[in-house]
Amino acid sequence: MRTQAESPSNIALVKYWGKHGLQLPLNPSVSFTLSHSTSQTRIHWKEAPEFGYSFRFHGKEQKAFTPKLDAFFERIMESAPELSTQQLEIESENSFPHSSGIASSASAFSALSLAIEEGIRQLRNKPQVDLNRASEWSRLGSGSACRSLFPKAAVWGAHPNIEGSSDIRGLDVSQRLHPVFEDFHDVILLIDEGVKSVSSTAGHALMDGHVFGKARIQQAFDHVEEMMDILSTGDLQRFIELVELEALTLHALMMSASDPYLLMRPGTVAAIESVRQFRKETDTNICFTLDAGANLHLLFPAASEQKVMPWVENELSMLSNGRYICDRVGNGPKWSSAI
Ligand code: DP6
């Protein structure tokens, strides 16, 4: 049997930062699902006396991925016992340059989980894939990956005022979006394409006992609720304020950890200043956000594209040697199989 899946990356508006237990978040988060930044994963399934797998990324074996993949398979085995008699040959590729410093674990683990779920569906003769289970498995590979299974926007983490929200999987909130957000753009400025000095996993660990930990968790619960209100009403002014506050808070938490570190580069700070100046001078709806890295994401509605893109091309991208990726809110993953 062969199965395949294509799944996008996502960009958090309210950030997941800190975890406990088996990949459970300390706080809820909300993200936009992207469109062009995807991973494609193909699996060739062969019956075998015991479980095993091989993994090739862009045609090459990548030993660096083995610890995360081993942990992932160990964690999902209980809910996918069929795997214990399968040998999987996995091939994966990213649509975006894999050295670009763009978080690829979200697209990688969601595509892998979905390609596995499609195979399990076949083996169990089920009519449909279970996206919730694929989301649960994705979380076990990389927390933020569980939000990539759903179109447009997803919430991850149990919130008392968001029905259906859960710590173990993402929740599709696409139906609650105001139309202005349905085709929102995300231009990713590739300011630093190198490997990050501190991984997200190490960063999450520094939230244990963080001096601002308790306040951050409370803030994130409040921000998720506020963001859901903003996403349904289409209030761009509040969106801009909240998204930038979240990005700067994330990096402030890194800078104020017990072992402090800094992932922004001089180009990141210059680009932030530039976005704020451009917004003020041109009265354009645009804001920035950051993941745990130096690359700046520019978020803006489709209606701002004509104003924003010439400025990005002619001015802002000088801060990233002309390197940027144009993405936008997308419709979630795709999958298929052949026997
Ligand atoms: C800053 O999901 O990459 O991008 O669960 O250890 O794999 P692991 O971490 P990961 O953390 C992403 C953190 C973030 C914010 C977010 O996407 O919510």
Q: What is the CATH number of the domain that holds 250?
A: 3.30.70.890
Please tell me the predicted confidence (pLDDT) of residue 290: 96
Mean pLDDT of 24-48: 97
**Cβ atoms 95, 40 nearer than 8 A:** yes
Which is nearest to 284 in space by CA: 246, 316, 250? Answer: 316
The CA distance from 253 to 4, in Å, is 38
Nearest atom within ligand 1 for CA of residue 103:
3
Nearest atom within ligand 1 for CA of residue 68:
7
**Cβ atoms 41, 91 nearer than 8 A:** yes
- Name the domain boundary from 146, 176, 206: 176
Residues with CB under 6 A from ligand 1: 12, 15-16, 23, 29, 103, 105, 142-144, 200-201, 204, 250, 291-292
Please tell me the predicted confidence (pLDDT) of residue 103: 61
The answer as to whether 249 is a domain residue is yes
Secondary structure of 28-80 as H, E, C letters: CEEEEEEEEEEEEEEEEEEECCCCEEEEEECCEECHHHHHHHHHHHHHHHHHC
- Determine the distance separating the centroid of ligand 1 and the alpha carbon of 153, expressed in angstroms: 16
Mutate to test the pocket of ligand 1, among 291, 295, 297 (most ligand atoms within 8 A of CB): 291
Mutate to test the pocket of ligand 1, among 13, 200, 217, 250 (most ligand atoms within 8 A of CB): 200
**Cβ atoms 35, 328 nearer than 8 A:** yes
Please tell me the predicted confidence (pLDDT) of residue 152: 98
Please tell me the predicted confidence (pLDDT) of residue 339: 60
- Determine the distance separating the centroid of ligand 1 and the alpha carbon of 172, expressed in angstroms: 18
Instruction: Work out the pLDDT band at 207, boundaries 50, 70, 90.
Output: very high
161 and 12 housed in the same domain: yes
- Determine the distance separating the centroid of ligand 1 and the alpha carbon of 52, expressed in angstroms: 27
- Residue that has been written with the tokens 């800190």 in this structure: 18
234 and 199 housed in the same domain: yes
Our count of domains for the chain comes to 2
The answer as to whether 334 is a domain residue is no
Name the E strands within 95-199. 153-156, 170-172, 185-189
The per-residue pLDDT for range 218-263, each reduced to its tens digit, is: 999 999 999 999 999 999 999 999 999 999 999 999 999 999 999 9
- Determine the distance separating the centroid of ligand 1 and the alpha carbon of 107, expressed in angstroms: 12
Amino acid at 211: V
Which is nearest to 15 in space by CA: 1, 23, 25, 5? Answer: 25
Mutate to test the pocket of ligand 1, among 29, 144, 207, 263 (most ligand atoms within 8 A of CB): 144
209 and 197 housed in the same domain: yes
CB-count burial class (<10 Å; 0-12, 13-18, 19+) for 179: exposed
193 and 288 housed in the same domain: yes
The answer as to whether 337 is a domain residue is no
- Determine the distance separating the centroid of ligand 1 and the alpha carbon of 223, expressed in angstroms: 17
Mean pLDDT of 136-157: 98
- Secondary structure of residue 220 in the 3-state scheme: helix
Please tell me the predicted confidence (pLDDT) of residue 100: 57
- Determine the distance separating the centroid of ligand 1 and the alpha carbon of 15, expressed in angstroms: 8
Please tell me the predicted confidence (pLDDT) of residue 194: 78
Tell me how far CA of residue 218 lies from CA of 91, 213, 331, in angstroms: 41, 9, 31
Nearest atom within ligand 1 for CA of residue 16:
18
- Secondary structure of residue 132 in the 3-state scheme: helix
Please tell me the predicted confidence (pLDDT) of residue 98: 63
Structural domain for 41, as ranges: 2-176
Residue 153: pLDDT over 70: yes
Please tell me the predicted confidence (pLDDT) of residue 101: 59
**Cβ atoms 102, 37 nearer than 8 A:** yes
148 and 235 housed in the same domain: no
* 103 vs 184, residue with greater confidence: 184
Q: In this prediction, what percent of the chain has a pLDDT beyond 90?
A: 93
- Determine the distance separating the centroid of ligand 1 and the alpha carbon of 19, expressed in angstroms: 10
Q: What are phi and psi of 192, to 5 degrees?
A: -135, 115
Nearest atom within ligand 1 for CA of residue 109:
7
318 and 285 housed in the same domain: yes
Please tell me the predicted confidence (pLDDT) of residue 278: 98
Strand order in the sheet with 287-290: 287-290, 296-300, 185-189, 324-328
What's the chain's average pLDDT? Answer: 96
- Name the domain boundary from 125, 145, 176: 176
Residue 314: pLDDT over 80: yes
244 and 268 housed in the same domain: yes
**Cβ atoms 168, 140 nearer than 8 A:** no
Helix axes 213-233, 236-255, angle to 10 degrees: 160
Residue 64: pLDDT over 90: no
Which is nearest to 265 in space by CA: 298, 295, 300, 234? Answer: 295
Least confidently predicted of 192-201, 214-223, 273-282: 192-201
The per-residue pLDDT for range 78-102, each reduced to its tens digit, is: 999 999 999 999 999 999 876 555 6
155 and 10 housed in the same domain: yes
- Determine the distance separating the centroid of ligand 1 and the alpha carbon of 200, expressed in angstroms: 6
- Name the domain boundary from 116, 147, 176: 176
- Determine the distance separating the centroid of ligand 1 and the alpha carbon of 109, expressed in angstroms: 12
77 and 168 housed in the same domain: yes
**Cβ atoms 159, 221 nearer than 8 A:** yes
Please tell me the predicted confidence (pLDDT) of residue 196: 77
96 and 183 housed in the same domain: no
The CA distance from 90 to 156, in Å, is 27
